[in-house]
Amino acid sequence: MARSRIYSGPILLLGIVQLVESIAFSIPYSYFPNYAISLGASVALIGLFTSAFMLSMALLSPKLGSLSDRVGRKKIIVWGLFGDVVLGILTGLARQIGFGFC
């Protein structure tokens, strides 16, 4: 009986993507408070932003996991990437559209 390797092919690629994503999310958090204060944000607003992000991740992760089991992981990943692109564009345009504390 041939033994299959669990860390090969698509599983290895998804693991590397998850590692890079974790690093990409944690690097900006180290300088975010200083940057936000220089833009005029209060310490309370910085805490609220960070808490809201972590709370939404904690609440949505189990729901998205069960949803991905029902409709397929690929669809959830594609929609997540699409949402990330849209929110990234809105973040870049925040000052022009008058959104946020900028």
Per-residue tokens: 6: 């669990």
pLDDT of residue 26: 76
More confident: 63 or 101 = 63
Q: 């998804």: which residue's tokens?
A: 14
The residues, any chain, with a CB within 8 Å of residue 7's CB and separated by 6 or more, are 15
* DSSP H helices in the chain: 10-38, 43-71, 73-92
Give me the residue spans of the domains in the chain: 10-92
Measure the CA–CA gap between 79 and 70, rounded to whole angstroms.
15
Burial status of residue 34 (CB atoms within 10 A of its CB: 0-12, 13-18, 19 or more)? exposed
Contacts of 29 (CB under 8 A, 6+ apart): 50
The pLDDT of 2-8, averaged and rounded, is: 63
Tell me, rounded to whole angstroms, the distance of Cα 38 from its chain centroid.
24
The per-residue pLDDT for range 17-67, each reduced to its tens digit, is 888 887 877 777 777 788 788 878 888 888 888 788 778 888 888 888 888
